[in-house]
Structure 1
Amino acid sequence: MSERIKVAVAGATGRIGREVVRMVLEDPGLQLAAAVARSAGPVDAGSLVGKPDTGVTVSSDLSEALAASRPDVLVDFTSPKAAMPNAETAIAHGVRPIMGTTGFTPEQIAELDKQCRDRGIGGLIAPNFSIGAILMMKFSSMAAKYFPHVEIIEYHGDQKLDAPSGTSIKTAEWIAGSREEIRQGNPNEEEVIEGARGGYYNGFRIHSVRLPGVFAQQEVIFGAFGQTLKIRHDSYDRAGYMPGVNTAIHKVMTATGMVYGFEHFLD
């Protein structure tokens, strides 16, 4: 049996972080090396997911945890504010970062790519780990060649910190790569209420809905003469992201540089 991949989890007490901890503990090919959270207290990581003690105590300091446990991979589901410094800390320790946190700028991605290459390791920034969401983006890119008029509506809970979502931005990038920029709508239109038409990207609009009771959905709407096409993906449970995270952990071990988009890890 090959040696297990040692995994550290940042944001381990969060809702997605706990799912990552559970997934790692249930995969015989993975080993939980560290669990990091700012305000968990010195508890065993197993207690976060209702499992027996693992011998891994939740730490509040990422750098110290990485230095002590020397993991192969860091999986980070924290916050946009913490994401960049966490990724840089991981790389500095020679740990491959898998960032499920969104909000990275193109400049930050380029800088992290350079840092990874300087250390000879790989990393991943993934706006979405859902296989269904990746297919939604792919199908939208295909449709944009024939239906260049498009708008995106993305739905998340009211506690999400960034808008528009990383998934919608990634979708917009895929669409923009399949069509020329077209400034849609009436050229003389006027927003009676500022922001009513949504965020502008490559000639089309992205609308962000934030409501309690909503988890994560996205709809891409294409319009043409006499017809519309709607491509929609709905996520109902955070556990649905875990097969993708698991795949990313294994694939990042052979990657070089910072990869942007989980689709690059799919066969």
Structure 2
Amino acid sequence: MERKIRVAVTGASGRMGREVVKLVLTEPDFELAAGVCRSSDSVDMGRLVGLDECGIRLQNDLELALVESRADVMIDFTTPHVALENTNLAIKHGIRPVIGTSGFTLNDIDLLDKHCLEKGIGGLIAPNFSIGAILMMRFAKQAAKYFPHLEIIEYHGDQKLDAPSGTAVKTAEMISGVREELRQGNPQEEETIEGSRGGYYNGFRIHSVRLPGIFAQQEVIMASHGQALKLRHDSYERSAYMPGVAIGVRQVMTYTGMVYGFEQFID
């Protein structure tokens, strides 16, 4: 029998962290090595996720938890201002990071790739782990060859910290790989209210909606003479990301370097 993949979960007491813990506990080839949160909470992890026999307690010192747990992989769905620090810490100890937090710059990713290569480990930064969202992004990239006039609208809850979302940025990057910069609209266009046309990216616009009660949706609207094409993906709950997270954990055990984008693992 092959050894199970030992997984440490940061932000384990958060809403996404609890979902990740459930995933790790239910996948037959995974083993929960550590659960970490920033607070001093010491709630029993088994009780936290509804399982009494887990035997893991939350820790608040990430470095100590990583070293003591002998984890193979660290999963991080925390916040942009701590995810980079957490990722560097994991790589320092030879632990493969699987990151679902947005906000990394291309320079950050290049440096993390270098550090992973030096350590001989794999890493993954994925703005979105939803397989449906990845397909939407891939379809948008294909369609942009024929519909270069487009806009992106993304919707999230009002507590999301970054705008636009990492998924919208990744979608824009993928589209720009097949589309020359094209300044859309009337060249005499004027915003009477600043920002009403959205953020500018390579000639098209990205709009971020932040409202309570919304989870995560994105539309890519494309138009040409006499026709329009709309691609939309809706995530209704955090469990939508878990099949992708499981794939990511298994994949980082098989290569070296930092991969940016979960779409590289979808045929």
Counterpart for residue 189 of structure 2: 189
Name the CA shift for 1:192/1:55 in 2 (closer, same or farther; >3 Å). Answer: same
* Alpha carbons 1:151, 1:222 under 8 Å: kept: yes
- The DSSP-based 3-state class of the residue aligned with 1:218 is strand
* Alpha carbons 1:45, 1:53 under 8 Å: kept: no
**Structure 1 gaps, min length 5:** none
| Alpha-carbon distance in structure 2 between the residues aligned to 1:157 and 1:193 | 23
| Alpha-carbon distance in structure 2 between the residues aligned to 1:260 and 1:194 | 33
Counterpart for residue 212 of structure 1: 212
1:13-28 to 2 correspondence within 5 Å? 13-28=13-28
Q: Residue deviations 1:118-161, cap 9 Å, x none?
A: 00000000000000000000000000000000000000000000
Counterpart for residue 235 of structure 2: 235
1:251, distance to aligned residue in structure 2 (A): 0.7
| Alpha-carbon distance in structure 1 between the residues aligned to 2:67 and 2:59 | 12
| Alpha-carbon distance in structure 2 between the residues aligned to 1:230 and 1:40 | 46
1:40, distance to aligned residue in structure 2 (A): 5.4
- The DSSP-based 3-state class of the residue aligned with 1:214 is coil
| Alpha-carbon distance in structure 1 between the residues aligned to 2:192 and 2:77 | 38
- The DSSP-based 3-state class of the residue aligned with 2:58 is coil
Q: Residue deviations 1:170-206, cap 9 Å, x none?
A: 0001110111110111111111111101011010000
* TM-score after normalising by structure 1: 0.98
**Structure 2 gaps, min length 5:** none
Question: Which stretch of structure 1 is more off in the superposition, 132-141 or 32-41?
Answer: 32-41
Q: Residue deviations 1:57-106, cap 9 Å, x none?
A: 10111101001101000000000000110000000010000000100000
| Alpha-carbon distance in structure 1 between the residues aligned to 2:184 and 2:36 | 46
* Alpha carbons 1:7, 1:24 under 8 Å: kept: yes
The structure 1 segments of at least 4 consecutive aligned residues displaced by more than 6 Å after TM superposition are none
Name the CA shift for 1:230/1:192 in 2 (closer, same or farther; >3 Å). Answer: same
| Alpha-carbon distance in structure 2 between the residues aligned to 1:48 and 1:227 | 51
- The DSSP-based 3-state class of the residue aligned with 1:164 is coil
| Alpha-carbon distance in structure 2 between the residues aligned to 1:117 and 1:45 | 33
| Alpha-carbon distance in structure 2 between the residues aligned to 1:21 and 1:57 | 12
* TM-score after normalising by structure 2: 0.98
- The DSSP-based 3-state class of the residue aligned with 2:59 is coil
Say yes or no: does 1:136 pair with 2:156: no
1:227, distance to aligned residue in structure 2 (A): 0.9
- Output the amino acid matched with 2:135: L
- Output the amino acid matched with 1:252: V
- Output the amino acid matched with 2:102: T
- Output the amino acid matched with 1:232: R
1:1-267 to 2 correspondence within 5 Å? 1-39=1-39, 41-267=41-267
- The DSSP-based 3-state class of the residue aligned with 1:154 is strand
Number of residues of Structure 1 aligned to a counterpart in Structure 2: 267
| Alpha-carbon distance in structure 1 between the residues aligned to 2:43 and 2:49 | 12
